């Protein structure tokens, strides 16, 4: 039934002008999701720390859960299961690895769906855009033939689960003194167990025409990185909450300076991660550290520099007075 639905959509796709296909391919581009995640980072740095952190935490939880389930089920893509399904070659570039659940669907719900929900009372047009884009992206994964309906439904439900878990973390952290520390420790223990599981698990090694259908090493690398990213944001959230508690930017100038500082910190963190990758031969460690360092730098190190800059500005103002 699922493959018949994809074949039906494929007949429609072949009958329509190629511009429709190009439209859905453009919607699914990974750089669009990356750009929206970066907007959440800028929001966290400059004008709405709480909302930005909620979106980023949800993004990391969703990405972590999606990567974990992909390597648990190891389900192949639709065109591997049925050679009659012919996705566009350009769409297959963003459809690597295992199929279930759909990573694009999870990220669409975590980023666009959740963002629309958070701003629904103040910015209705933004909410409408986010939810429309989310719906189009979910549909596009079937329309292009790169995911089955159950892949997309499971991915969307996983995104909703990530939203719920993120909300629980923030609510529980406020419930009593020390609850945030329990959230951090529980999360780190879970991530450690996950890393061990990813490393020791056995993966299918099936070949077609001498080519491996899915490279387990690449899938492990993605999962290590997403687990590291979740560890990084949990650490950054906890330490910022406990020891910094920075406020939003007070002016456009300060917001712009924060953006420059934040970009510099992220650039340095990425450079450090790549340096470690060249020095440390154990790939599982370097993939994990790459996610951890970048997200920790964005959520804690950059805000620490923001406070240093604000302190210098206050001293200058006091001296001038």
Give the pLDDT score at 207: 80
Do 80 and 87 touch, CB atoms closer than 8 A?
no
Residues 258, 197 contacting (CB under 8 angstroms) = no
| Tokens read off for 267 | 């650039």
The encoded tokens of residue 116 equal 């629309």
**Residue ranges of the chain with per-residue pLDDT less than 50:** none
Tens of pLDDT, residue by residue over 85-126, are: 999 888 888 778 889 999 999 999 999 999 999 888 888 898
User: Nearest-CA neighbor of 106 among 146, 144, 65?
Assistant: 65
SS3 assignment for the chain: CHHHHHHHHHHHHHHCCHHHHHHHHHHCCHHHHHHHHHHHHHHHHHCCHHHHHHHHHHHHHHHHHHHHHHHHHCCCCHHHHCCCCCCCHHHHCCCCCCCCCCHHHHHHHHHHHHHHHHCCCCCHHHHHHHHHHHHHHHHHHHHCCCCCHHHHHHHHHHHHHHHHHHHHHHHHHCCCCCHHHHHHHHHHHHHHHHHHHHHHCCCCCCEECCEECCCHHHHHHHHHHHHHHHHHHHHHHHHHHHHHCCCCCCCHHHHHHHHHHHHHHHHHHHHHHHHHHHHCCCHHHHHHHHHHHHHHHHHHHHHHHHHHHHHHHHHHHHHHC
Q: pLDDT value at position 313?
A: 58
The residues spanned by each domain of the chain are 2-320
Q: Are 123 and 68 in contact (CB under 8 A)?
A: no
Q: Give the whole-angstrom CA distance, residue 153 versus residue 130.
A: 18
Burial of 305 (0-12, 13-18, 19+ CB in 10 A): middle
Q: pLDDT at position 18, please? A: 87
Please name which of 299, 302, 305 lies closest in space to residue 40, comparing C-alpha atoms: 299
How far apart are the C-alpha atoms of 153 and 102, rounded to whole Å? Answer: 8
- For 139-172, what is each residue's pLDDT tens digit? 999 999 999 999 999 999 999 999 999 999 999 9
């Amino acid at each position: 039934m699922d493959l018949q639905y994809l074949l039906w959509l494929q007949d429609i796709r072949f009958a329509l002008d190629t511009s429709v296909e190009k439209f859905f391919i453009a919607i699914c581009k990974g750089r669009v999701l990356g750009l929206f995640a970066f907007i959440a980072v800028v929001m966290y740095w400059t004008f709405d720390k709480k909302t930005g952190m909620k979106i980023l935490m949800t993004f990391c939880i969703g990405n972590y859960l999606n990567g974990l389930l992909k390597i648990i089920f190891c389900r192949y893509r639709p065109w591997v299961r049925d050679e009659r399904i012919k996705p566009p070659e350009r769409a297959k570039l963003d459809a690597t690895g295992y199929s279930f659940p759909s990573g694009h669907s999870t990220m669409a719900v975590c980023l666009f769906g959740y963002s629309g929900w958070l701003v629904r009372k103040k910015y209705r047009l933004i909410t409408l855009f986010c939810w429309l884009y989310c719906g189009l992206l979910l549909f596009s994964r079937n329309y292009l033939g790169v995911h089955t309906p159950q892949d997309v439904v499971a991915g969307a439900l996983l995104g909703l689960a990530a939203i719920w878990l993120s909300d629980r973390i923030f609510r529980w952290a406020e419930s009593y003194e020390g609850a945030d520390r329990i959230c951090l420790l529980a999360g780190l223990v879970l991530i450690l167990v996950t890393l061990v599981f990813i490393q020791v698990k056995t993966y299918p090694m099936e070949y077609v025409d001498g080519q491996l259908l899915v490279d387990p090493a690449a899938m492990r690398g993605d999962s290590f990185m997403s687990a590291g990213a979740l560890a990084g944001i949990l650490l950054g959230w906890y330490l910022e909450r406990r020891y910094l508690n920075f406020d939003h930017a007070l002016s456009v100038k300060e917001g712009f300076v924060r953006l420059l500082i934040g970009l510099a910190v992220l650039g340095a963190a990425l450079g450090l991660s790549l340096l470690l990758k060249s020095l440390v031969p154990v790939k599982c460690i370097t993939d994990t550290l790459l996610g951890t360092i970048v997200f920790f730098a964005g959520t804690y190190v950059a805000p620490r520099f923001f406070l240093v800059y604000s302190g210098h500005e206050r001293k200058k103002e006091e001296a001038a007075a």
